[in-house]
Amino acid sequence: MPFARAGQVVGLLGGSFDPAHEGHAHITKAALTRFGLDRVWWLVSPANPLKIRGPAPILDRVARAQAVMQHPRVTVTDIEARLGTRYTAQTIAALQDYYPGVRFVWLMGADNLAQFHRWQDWREIMARVPVGVLARPGDRISACMSRAARIFRADRLIGRASVLLGQADAPKWAFANLPMSQLSSTAIRETGKWSAGAVDDRPMGE
Ligand SMILES: Nc1ncnc2c1ncn2[C@@H]1O[C@H](COP(=O)(O)OP(=O)(O)OP(=O)(O)O)[C@@H](O)[C@H]1O
Ligand SMILES: O=C(O)c1ccc[n+]([C@@H]2O[C@H](COP(=O)([O-])O)[C@@H](O)[C@H]2O)c1
């Protein structure tokens, strides 16, 4: 299990990472600064409970993720396989037990906020940890209009206040508009190309 000190703020980016790509690295670096995080852990999941297709072997995905994400404040882990948890709510509860005093923040791309209300015990996740959402091409509007965004509208940190997310008590969430990356694991699997879409750094409104 990775090391974390009491009081540290650790962002958790869960994913299939099948395979990891620069889009993941891009949102991770943005999350560190935008949400006031000390570290980010990539949780390479055994399998997404909502996806039918089984991913590549976890050790291959971890190795690829480690090659893509080399940063002194980022750790790639297979913690969910070690904990034996399948759903994010279970993973977060187990991590909070294992690391008392560490502040965790759940991170996800806008596509996942759009369907967050379908996740198991998603309200419990909101109650346990602040949630940081990163812009993704095509998903900004559906995310901000999503059921979870509407229900928790009053708990959103807007604009520059997002940097306080790491120190905030749940429920709290923030949406970071960033230069967006078109990259996706699906496109890489389908085309075999790793460079599909560089980061689009046209500015966007909040
Ligand atoms: N280009 C991107 N921009 C913003 N968020 C992203 C991007 N790529 C991945 N993410 C986010 O990173 C997390 C892990 O993503 P995941 O491993 O599922 O990659 P993916 O590219 O979305 O894969 P797939 O195409 O297989 O669904 C998710 O929360 C996802 O929303
Ligand atoms: O807990 C759930 O119900 C749940 C449903 C869908 C996705 N997740 C988690 O969301 C993260 C992103 O998933 P994915 O497949 O888009 O990379 C990953 O950690 C999944 O375990 C979790």
Q: Which ligand is nearest to the CA of 88?
A: 2
What is the CA(119)–ligand 2 centre distance, in A? 8
Out of 184, 195, 204, mutate this one to test ligand 1's pocket (max ligand atoms within 8 Å of CB): namely 184
Confidence category of residue 204, pLDDT binned at 50, 70, 90: very low
Confidence category of residue 49, pLDDT binned at 50, 70, 90: confident
Residue 172: the pLDDT is 98
Per the model's pLDDT, the better-predicted residue between 195 and 26 turns out to be 26
- Enumerate residues 6+ apart whose C-beta is below 8 A from 65: 17, 19, 20, 24, 42, 44, 76
CA-CA-CA-CA dihedral for 176, 73, 13, 191, to nearest 10: 90
10 Å CB burial of residue 144 (0-12, 13-18, 19+) is: middle
- pLDDT tens-digit map of 51-102: 777 899 999 999 999 999 999 999 999 999 999 999 999 999 999 999 999 9
Domain 9-190 has CATH 3.40.630.30: no
CA angle 46, 40, 166 (to 5 degrees): 120
The verdict on pTM exceeding 0.80 is: yes
Is residue 198 predicted with pLDDT exceeding 70?
A: no
Nearest CA to ligand 2 atom 21: 48
